[in-house]
Chain A
Amino acid sequence: MVLEQLQKRIEAVKERIEQAITHPYLCRYMNPRMIDEDRIAFSLSMLDAANIDRNIAEDYVFTMMLIQIALDTHDEVDEHEAMHLRQLTVLAGDLYSGLYYQFLANNHGMALIRLFAEAIKEINVQKIRLQRGNVDAIERFRCLGTIESALICKLAQYVNAENWSEFAYYFFSLKRLSDENKKEKAVADYVEHCKRKLNDLLHSQPMHEDMKGRLYHLLDQST
């Protein structure tokens, strides 16, 4: 029952995001944006555990996901050789950034504006570090962990659920690295490290069954 409920809420947040980012001209030329369900599930679990009102929690997750999609869209800029698509990719990301600010501004989310802005700054600093390339494996994993979890960590800070930050860091690091070549020793070692951390944290964290299922799936997938 609870599992069904969470999935319904995830779908509802996804639908809201899809509606918000729909733009007739962008839709005509760009592929639909990927919306990471795990991120929504994780955030809703965290906010429920922090006793945040359901509607408010969904608002927070909706806003955070708009930022995530904006940043992810800008990561794709170099993937498009065609000038027109590259131009639209830049502008789509900018539009989604504007939309998250508009939502918070209209819902008096001043404190969240600051926290999310801090996260975006941090994420872009780490992306620049990664892009420069002169980082060792450990530093690279740290950068990736921050890039993947900074927004959720700021949300955790906002709702006084900082105990979820470490969990978010390792969960999304593992998710990011699960696609990488684990034959490389440094990656394989770090994946094992993330899994150990997540196994330790799993028992100290009350969470929805659906979220647990996603976590087990990720742990299995990374083996």
Chain B
Amino acid sequence: MMKLKAMYSFLNADLNKIERELEASIQADDPLLNQASLHLLQAGGKRIRPVFVLLGGQFGTYDFECIKHVAVALEFIHMASLVHDDVIDNAKLRRGKETIQSKWGNRFAMYVGDYIFARSLELMANIKNPLAHQILADTIVEVCRGEIEQISDKYRFDQNLRRYLQRIKRKTALLIAASCQLGAVVAGAPESIHRKLYWFGYYVGMSFQITDDILDFIGTEKELGKPAGSDLSQGNVTLPVLYAMEEEALRQSIMQVNEATTASEMKELIERIKQTDAIEKSYELGERYLQKALSILQSLPRNRAWNALYNIAKYIGKRKY
């Protein structure tokens, strides 16, 4: 399978510049803050949000010097949310590296996250188009509400598919949708185009999160950077769990999961879930979202960004980690 980076190689020079911008933009007047920020940046990541911003920008008048602010801002917003998520989850490792909260404590992590979020808004202030700010602000608020919803839904096994979909929309799809749309908005693309890019990103994001939730069951600890089934052990009811609960006996066992469930009990439960058709059905739903994304793409003008978006969508549906 084609490597993700090869799908948008024409953006390589700009993505390298984005990487340098990320490093330069995060510099602070405090050595420890700099150390922590660099620690975060070096942990890497796919930088998928900046990629979507730059690709969205190709549907309008692409001006790197303008669009870079949005690309960097979105990556910073993502990074800030990860730092705070690690406090929420009390996570010790992320992408195999020690988390900020583990290394320097909760309070420090809160300050780093707040600093990075503020930096992202400072960068966004370079964008004069009010619509760009409205889109991003609405997205941020919805993402936060989604995270609160995720906490309120923990260990709630009576939730339905609709509730799950609403949650992953807010958790993942909205920021990817906004990334695609914002690139186009800032590049001055017409509404008919940037709205479609929003929906493309939305469907890709939904598919991406469903795949993520499947991988949490079928991935290895090495691939995932955390034990398989972590979502369920933390009380997060994901799509494979909802489908597995359609089997009555399994439903009863799943409903017993709580904070005291041991690792070996969980391991056994995960195996039982994997033996049902829950994974397959989850893949099918993920695929349906992917098809919706590809269908939207058909109505967008063909250019090299179009090809890249097509390949990325395909990749996301088939990724293994």
Contacts and interface: CB of A to CB of B under 8 A. Distances in A.
Interface stretch (B141-149, B203-211, B275-283): B141-149
A94 B110 CA distance: 10
Contacts of B136: 101, 105
A88 B119 CA distance: 23
B147 A94 contact: yes
B140 A98 contact: yes
B130 A108 contact: yes
B133 A105 contact: yes
- A-B pairs, top 9 by smallest CB distance, nearest first, are A105-B133, A114-B125, A120-B118, A117-B122, A105-B137, A102-B137, A95-B144, A98-B140, A98-B141
A99 B119 CA distance: 17
Interface in B47-101: 81, 84, 87-88, 90
A9 interface: no
A91 B144 contact: yes
Contacts of A78: 105-107
A68 to B, nearest CB: 12
Could you say which of A91, A110, A131 has the most chain B C-beta atoms within 10 Å of its C-beta? Answer: A91
Contacts of A87: 88, 151
Interface residues of B, number: 43
B149 to A, nearest CB: 8
Contacts of B108: 128, 131
A16 interface: no
B140 A128 contact: no
B111 A124 contact: yes
B141 A102 contact: yes
Could you say which of A88, A94, A95, A104 has the most chain B C-beta atoms within 10 Å of its C-beta? Answer: A94
A86 B87 contact: yes
A118 interface: yes
Interface in B1-58: 28-30, 32-33
Contacts of B121: 101, 113-114, 116-117
A74 interface: yes
A105 B33 contact: no
23 contacts: A78-B107, A90-B88, A91-B151, A94-B144, A95-B144, A97-B140, A98-B144, A101-B133, A105-B130, A105-B137, A105-B138, A114-B125, A116-B121, A117-B118, A117-B125, A118-B118, A120-B117, A120-B118, A125-B30, A128-B30, A128-B111, A128-B115, A132-B32
Contacts of B143: 98
Contacts of A108: 130
Could you say which of A84, A105, A127 has the most chain B C-beta atoms within 10 Å of its C-beta? Answer: A105
Contacts of B303: none
B119 A131 contact: no
Contacts of A56: none
Interface residues of A, number: 45
Contact of A88 (B32, B117, B122, B151): B151
B122 A114 contact: yes
Contact of B107 (A77, A97, A101, A129): A77
B129 to A, nearest CB: 10
Nearest to A107: B130
B119 A95 contact: no
B114 interface: yes
A35 interface: no
B182 to A, nearest CB: 12
B192 interface: no
A128 B114 contact: no
B148 A110 contact: no
B106 A124 contact: no
Given A86-B87, A125-B28, A128-B108, A99 B114 contact: no
Given A90-B84, A90-B87, A105-B136, A120 B115 contact: yes
A127 B111 contact: yes
B92 to A, nearest CB: 14
A128 B118 contact: no
Nearest to A122: B29
Interface in A152-167: none
A145 interface: no
Contacts of B184: none
